[in-house]
Amino acid sequence: MTTQAHPRGRNMSKAAQAHPGGLYLLFVTEMWERFSYYGMRAIFVLFMIKALLFDKAHASDIYGTYTGLVYLTPLIGGYIADRYWGNRRSIIAGGVLMAIGQFMLFFSGSMHAGNAQMASGLLYGGLGFLIAGNGLFKPNISSMVGQLYPKGDKRVDSAFTIFYMGINAGSLIAPIVCGSLGDTGNPADFKWGFMAAGFGMLLSLVVFSLFKNKYLVDPQGKPIGMAPKRHHESGEKVVHAPLTRVEKERLAVILIVSAFVIFFWSAFEQAGASLTFFAEEQTNRNLMGHVIPASFFQSINPIAVVIFAPVFAWIWTKLGQRNNEPSSPVKMALGLFFLAIGYLVIAFGVDGLAPGVKVSMMWLTSLYVLHTFGELCLSPIGLSLVVKLSPVRFTSLMMGIWFLSNSAANKFAGTLSELYPDPAKPIPHFLGYAITNLHDFFMLFVMMAGAASLILFLLSMKLKKMMNGLS
């Protein structure tokens, strides 16, 4: 693994080259793993309320707990990889666990009608395997992207944009495939959606296992992601050197922006919970005589990512050529702003809407597109920021800490989804704010994301200084 910056001339020649083949292997591996995750997520709350007959609040709580833990365990997975297993072994072990989890959900869906207690047990067991597996898989595949390039290589941001498109290619087709198979109106069919998600995970494992030795190498041709050498293997004692002042300041930037992304993902991840309820109950899904399954709306975001990611990459490149490219914290503040605007649009669309009345699907579509703009300003930029600012010896661990903020955000997302107004239940409150209707509910996210955007923008100059020359 390269730890020293290359001479300027060599850096420029490297930048002119195409991306290494290992990037595209990680792209495909992550694409099918994300197909598995988002395919399951597209039908998850619908399965709980339609097949297992959970109420919305209970389903939202389970959803938030599951997605929160999915992003908590990468902290452990990153530590295991850095100290013991390495990236490769961790990814394979994580993939096996996640495949087992998806097929447990298939069996849960197979017996929900005949043995509800067993079906619930398999559901929770499957979620446990998915949580543990994701902890090993997620931080390690992300951190391997940066290891393919020499330190200071200008292609890293571009590499993460390409890698991020792989994530969204998987999440684009997942709701369509798994939703078509599982969200048919017949609760007995949910199992087929879970089975498709399981096969997606197996395909990810097979591709990674077959081609990892050929393509996952550093610029000198040495394999990356291997288990760290122990003292008795190398004859040398492996010591993590103390952090320098610059390293401490850069790590502090990661921790600070991680706190702000909690506000982003807690609102963004309503897609799998409250926004799915809204799509199911109060969105007119009739298109040319056909009713679009509610789960399909979760494909709008990845479709928009594939369309607009090149546009955002072009914008950042053009601004960079003019020395006007905003810093990473400014881009992330802009992401929170787009998120707030998305909720403001749909809040306007439902203002005065009576329960049971359905609105045009254009309102929900507009929200998802605006949220995509926010995501493109925040998520790939954040992943790249972690790799750029982290010392090499702590990259997987810091990637785990980055996902820790996602964990808190997803659990918070479930808590907020429980506030989704239900005329049959008492009016929910959040910090004294009464949520009497959908307009009030969506305005809560406008206020949260808007305030976080403003504060992060005000801090951006200080954070840029703490990055010590990186952007």
Give the range among 189-193, 198-202, 320-324, 356-360 with minimum mean pLDDT: 320-324
| Domain enclosing residue 448, as ranges | 20-214+243-466
Whether the Cβ atoms of residue 200 and residue 194 lie closer than 8 Å to each other: no
Report if residue 137 sits inside a domain: yes
Q: What is the 3-state secondary structure (H, E, C) of 411-461?
A: HHHHHHHCCCCCCCCCCCEECCEECCCHHHHHHHHHHHHHHHHHHHHHHHH
Report if residue 42 sits inside a domain: yes
Q: What is the DSSP string of 101-117?
A: HHHHHHHHHHSTTT-HH
Most confident of 72-76, 360-364, 401-405: 360-364
Task: Assign 44 a pLDDT band (cuts: 50, 70, 90).
Answer: very high
Q: pLDDT digit string (tens) for 139-186?
A: 888 778 878 888 767 677 677 777 877 778 888 888 889 989 998 889
Rounded to an integer, the average pLDDT of 24-37 is: 92
Task: Assign 4 a pLDDT band (cuts: 50, 70, 90).
Answer: very low
Percentage of the chain exceeding pLDDT 90: 38
Task: Count how many Cα atoms sit within 13 Å of the Cα of residue 183 in the half-sphere of its side chain.
Answer: 28
Report if residue 339 sits inside a domain: yes
Task: Assign 3 a pLDDT band (cuts: 50, 70, 90).
Answer: very low
Q: pLDDT digit string (tens) for 93-108?
A: 999 999 999 999 999 9
Secondary structure of the chain: what % helix, strand, coil (to 5)?
A: 75, 5, 20
Q: How confident is the model at residue 175, as a pLDDT? A: 87
Residue type, 120: S
Mean confidence (pLDDT) of the chain: 86
Report if residue 249 sits inside a domain: yes
CATH of the domain at 315: 1.20.1250.20
Whether the Cβ atoms of residue 268 and residue 405 lie closer than 8 Å to each other: no
Report if residue 229 sits inside a domain: no
Cα pseudo-dihedral 4, 1, 135, 397, rounded to 10:
-30
Q: How confident is the model at residue 5, as a pLDDT? A: 39
Report if residue 274 sits inside a domain: yes
Q: Which helix (H) or strand (E) holds 367?
A: helix 361-389
Report if residue 471 sits inside a domain: no
Rounded to an integer, the average pLDDT of 329-347 is: 95
Q: pLDDT digit string (tens) for 363-390?
A: 999 999 999 999 999 988 888 888 888 8
Q: pLDDT digit string (tens) for 115-139?
A: 888 999 999 999 999 999 999 998 8
Beta bridge partners of 21: none
* Among 209, 226, 208, CA closest to 217: 226
Rounded to an integer, the average pLDDT of 305-310 is: 85
* Tokens coding 139: 């931080």
SS3 83: helix
Q: pLDDT digit string (tens) for 62-73?
A: 988 898 888 888
Q: Say which residue, 13 or 34, is predicted with more confidence.
A: 34
Report if residue 268 sits inside a domain: yes
Q: How confident is the model at residue 150, as a pLDDT? A: 80
Task: Assign 426 a pLDDT band (cuts: 50, 70, 90).
Answer: confident
Q: pLDDT digit string (tens) for 219-253?
A: 888 888 788 776 444 444 445 778 888 888 999 99
* Tokens coding 273: 């919970």
Q: Say which residue, 237 or 298, is predicted with more confidence.
A: 298
Number of domains, the chain = 1
Q: How confident is the model at residue 392, as a pLDDT? A: 74
Please tell me what DSSP assigns to residue 326: P
Task: Assign 17 a pLDDT band (cuts: 50, 70, 90).
Answer: low
Q: How confident is the model at residue 102, as a pLDDT? A: 95
Q: What is the 3-state secondary structure (H, E, C) of 13-24?
A: HHHHCCCCHHHH
Q: What is the DSSP string of 373-421?
A: HHHHHHHHHHHHHHHHHS-GGGHHHHHHHHHHHHHHHHHHHHHHHTTS-
CA angle 328, 414, 260 (to 5 degrees): 20
Q: How confident is the model at residue 239, as a pLDDT? A: 52
Rounded to an integer, the average pLDDT of 254-270 is: 92
Q: How confident is the model at residue 138, as a pLDDT? A: 84
Q: How confident is the model at residue 1, as a pLDDT? A: 36
Please tell me what DSSP assigns to residue 81: I
